[in-house]
């Protein structure tokens, strides 16, 4: 009985390997002349697109006040329980402001729920991905580190208005 031809049976040219080896070599040779994808990180930094979710920050208006009204929704929605907000009264029109606003960056999972739930567009995800601390206390970011001027966040705010 003649043996059935199987798909893995090779023909003569494939059996002597050489043409396929040549093809493989040409592929790697072609790749040697393609541009590199490597980024020389500390010297050359990755600038993320507006859709990037870096560390969450609070928006600081031009008159040096925060947008946040300390409603506590972000703290409520945070799945990692990373946010703590303590509200206080203010003489401004918005009546409330966060006396204390802390994000524990060891807990934060960069899900962006806080930004999604915020009614005031006061907390947004920034492009900052360089988070370094040498002890646990430093990992808890207070208002001093969280407040970022509104101009620096215009990319993200525009993105949110278009796609949120």
Partner 1 sequence: MDIWSIVIETSIKIFVVVNVLLLTVSYSVYFERKISAWAQNRIGPNRVGWLGLLQPFADVFKLLLKEDIVPDKSNKAIHALAPFLALFVAFSTYAVIPIGPEMTLFGYTFSLVVADVGIGILYVLAMTSLGVYAITFAGWSSGSKYSLLGGIRSAAQMISYEVSMGFSIAGVIMFSESLNMNVIVQSQAGWMWNAILQPIGFITFVVAAFAETNRMPFDLPEAEPELVGGYHTEYSSMKFAGFFLAEYANMAIASALIVTLYLGGWQNPLVDIFGITGITATLMQIGAFLVKVLALLFFFIWVRWSLPRFRYDQLMDLGWKVMFPLSLINIVWVAALIMIFNL
The pairs formed by 83-89 with CB atoms below 8 angstroms and a separation of 24 or more are 83/114
Question: How many Cβ atoms are within 10 Å of 108's Cβ, its own excluded?
Answer: 18
Closer residue to partner 1 in complex, CB, 28/162: 28
Nearest distance in Å: CB 19, partner 1: 13
Closer residue to partner 1 in complex, CB, 19/112: 19
Write the DSSP symbol of residue 5.
P
Relative to beta strand 147-149, strand 123-125 is unpaired
Nearest distance in Å: CB 38, partner 1: 4
Interface positions with partner 1 (CB under 8 A) = 18, 21, 24-25, 27-29, 31-32, 34-38, 40
Nearest distance in Å: CB 25, partner 1: 5
Rounded distance between C-alpha atoms, residue 7 and residue 59, angstroms? 63
Nearest distance in Å: CB 39, partner 1: 9
Closer residue to partner 1 in complex, CB, 28/62: 28
Closer residue to partner 1 in complex, CB, 21/100: 21
Closest by CA position to 140, among listed 113, 109, 101: 101
């Amino acid at each position: 009985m003649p043996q059935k031809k199987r798909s893995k049976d090779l023909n003569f040219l494939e059996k002597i390997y050489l043409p396929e080896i040549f093809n493989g070599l040409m592929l790697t040779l072609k790749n040697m002349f393609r541009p590199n994808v490597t980024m020389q990180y500390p010297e050359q930094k990755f600038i993320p697109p507006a859709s990037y979710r870096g560390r969450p920050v609070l928006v600081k208006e031009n008159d040096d006040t925060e947008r946040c009204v300390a409603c506590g929704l972000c703290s409520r929605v945070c799945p990692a329980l990373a946010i703590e907000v303590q509200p206080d009264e203010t003489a401004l029109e918005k009546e409330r402001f966060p006396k204390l606003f802390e994000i524990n960056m060891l807990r934060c999972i960069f899900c962006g729920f806080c930004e999604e739930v915020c009614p005031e567009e006061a907390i947004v995800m920034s492009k900052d991905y360089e988070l370094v601390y040498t002890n646990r206390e430093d990992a808890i970011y207070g208002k001093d580190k969280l407040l970022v001027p509104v101009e620096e966040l215009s990319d993200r705010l525009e993105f949110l208005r278009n796609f949120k």
